Amino acid sequence: MSLLAVGLPLLLSGGCRANPIPPVADSLHWPVAPAPAVDPLKPVLWVALAAHLRPPAPVLLSAAAGSLTLVDADGARYQGTRVALHWRSEAVAPPLRLRRQVLGPFASYESAEETASRWRQAGARPVIAHPGDWEVWAPLDAPLPPGLGPSRRLEQDLSQRSVLELRRPEGVVLLRGPISIEAAQGLRWQGGVFSGPFRLQPDAYGSWSLVEQVPLERYLLGVVPHEIGAASPQPALAAQAVLARTWALRNIRRFGVDGYHLCADTQCQVYADPRHAGAAVRQAIASTHHRVLVWQGEPIHAVYHATNGGVSAGFEEVWSGGSLPYLKPRLDGSTTVQSRFSLPLQPGQLPALLASRDFYGSYHPRFRWIRSLDAGQLRQALLPVAPALGLPTQLKVLERGASGRVLALEIRGAGGEAVVLRRDAIRRNLRQLPSTLFVVEPQGAASWRFVGGGFGHGAGLSQAGAIDLGGRGWTTQSILEHYYPGTSLQPLSALNPGSLSSAP
């Protein structure tokens, strides 16, 4: 039995206790050390297996086999097979003065990033944060450019913070963060086993994160089979490996405010137990080793989704910001299909497109779909963004993109109030809708019928389309060229210097 399991940790060694550095007296957030830049020769990602760890639930760590070794920031070492770390409140002196403007919430990191870029161009130094939803923070005196406001103000003095402790019969040990965790035979976490090494570290919100420092190619073993499916044709698997690698490197700044690169859930790419990767997945990753899709020396926005419903979206149809030359609206079918439809879709073409299944990837169960929503469901879904709306009485599409996707949806209430959902905010608030490629029509009193196609945002690679094309004999290169025209497949060494920095 582990000594830690019964509350008797084994003290291996102890270093001199360093004087803790007091928090910054005035700040946008709790101070956090930045994650390191990614070395293109030996790329390692810092991935949060769990974020926002906070009281009251203890942090339970278990070795898959053998033992764990914990080393806190003061050099004290503890070893065992299992450990429960408990919370306690610690005084902060002097108190941390949080002072910030807040914009958001945003439906996605991409929309928050565009807002942060505009604020930065106006002379501010904003950061992107994810305390629960995506937000953009800047100092109280930062000027707001036209069209970005109004912002919310937060002014708060914090005199306590949550820290971790190890409880023993002979006394309680305070563990100074960050806490390094070594598990020679793996750490068991949420049903999976991960190799590490690991860190428990404070984040920007006063909570903590469990971070794995995982080599890039091992990270892909935990992503590719969970994103596209291990049974996909080899060309589709290899294309997914390239995109997962490219996406990860393009997004290493995503959680910069919290001191790590990426998360492990759908706000990033789903990352789970790498042991589940079979021979086909391993071959796909090995065959594309350290290769990424590049545009002008930078990793591209390698976005992808389940199925596009027969027509790809342009970047600007999904998120705020300008268009990208390699993410353009395009019909995803043969030349015969392309002769029947043209882009931009004309007003009368979308129903005909949604009635057709003559596109790549049409086997997907959400390639075509129908949803019905009544006024009560809509009101409940819109409470966070339009609490005064009341029961909706009218839905109207105000704007569509070139692919036919809805860019602006107006929902009007009985009292004349209205809310307009734009781009990614449509699916964020109306989660029953698989995509924004739809037509909507009244269905009796206080109910509406949505007839649509696709699952996901629709930009970049359609996984269903790639699987279909791989089965038709297309190569990995031709699949990538089809969905990202004008990009090139390059080794990491070809990237511009600085493109793998974690600094914003």
pLDDT digits (tens, 9 = 90+) for 458-477: 999 999 999 999 999 999 99
My answer on whether 233 and 87 are in the same domain is no
Q: Residue 166 to residues 84, 197, 202, 236, 354: CA-CA distances in angstroms?
A: 7, 20, 17, 47, 59
Answer yes or no: is 393 within a domain. Answer: yes
Sheet holding 488-491, edge to edge: 298-299, 291-295, 488-491
Distance of alpha carbon 386 from alpha carbon 383, whole angstroms = 5
Q: Tell me, what's the pLDDT at 278?
A: 96
Domain boundary among 169, 184, 217: 217
Q: Are residues 277 and 200 in the same domain?
A: no
Contacts 24+ apart (CB under 8 A), 408-412: 409/440, 411/378, 411/382, 411/386
Same-domain status, 162 and 93: yes
Residue 484 in domain: yes
Same domain, 265 and 390: no
Fill in the DSSP letter of residue 304.
Answer: E
60-86 tens-digit pLDDT: 999 999 999 999 999 999 999 999 999
Structural domain includes residue 91: yes
Count CB neighbours of 215 within 10 A: 13
Together in a domain, 54 and 124: yes
In a domain, 130, yes or no: yes
Q: What pairs with residue 168 in β-bridges? A: 171
Structure tokens at 195: 């190799």
74 plus 22 within the same structural domain:
yes
235 with 191, same domain? no
Both 200 and 248 in a single domain? no
Q: Is residue 340 part of a domain?
A: no
Q: Is residue 360 part of a domain?
A: no
Number of domains composing the chain:
3
Q: Which of 494, 412, 407 is nearest to 457 (CA)?
A: 407
Provide the CA 139 distance to its chain's centre, in angstroms: 25
Q: Who's near 468: CB < 8 A, 6+ residues apart?
A: 360, 361, 362, 363
Q: Which of 124, 126, 122, 146 is nearest to 135 (CA)?
A: 126
387 with 415, same domain?
Answer: yes
Q: Is the peptide bond before 131 cis (omega within 30 degrees of 0)?
A: no
Domain boundary among 164, 189, 217: 217
Per the structure, the complete domain to which residue 382 belongs is given by 368-453
Longest dimension (CA), the chain: 79
Please tell me whether residues 127 and 166 are part of one structural domain: yes
Q: Are 241 and 284 in contact (CB under 8 A)?
A: yes
Question: Which pLDDT score, from 0 to 100, does residue 25 have?
Answer: 53
Segments of the chain with pLDDT less than 50: 1-24
- The answer to whether residue 470 is domain-embedded is yes
Cis-peptide, bond into residue 150, ω within 30° of zero: yes
Cα torsion at 264, 269, 275, 279 (round to 10°)? Answer: -170
**Same domain, residue pair 289 and 428:** no
Instruction: Identify whether 348 is part of a domain.
Output: no
- 415: Cα within 13 Å, side-chain hemisphere: 8
Residue 275 is predicted with a pLDDT of 93
Terminal alpha carbon distance of the chain = 46
Position 383 scores a pLDDT of 95
Tokens of 39: 């070395």
Find all residues with CB under 8 Å of 465, minimum gap 6, and list them.
307, 308, 332, 359, 360, 361, 483
423 and 374 together in one domain = yes
In the listed set 159, 191, 217, which residue is the last one of a domain according to the structure?
A: 217
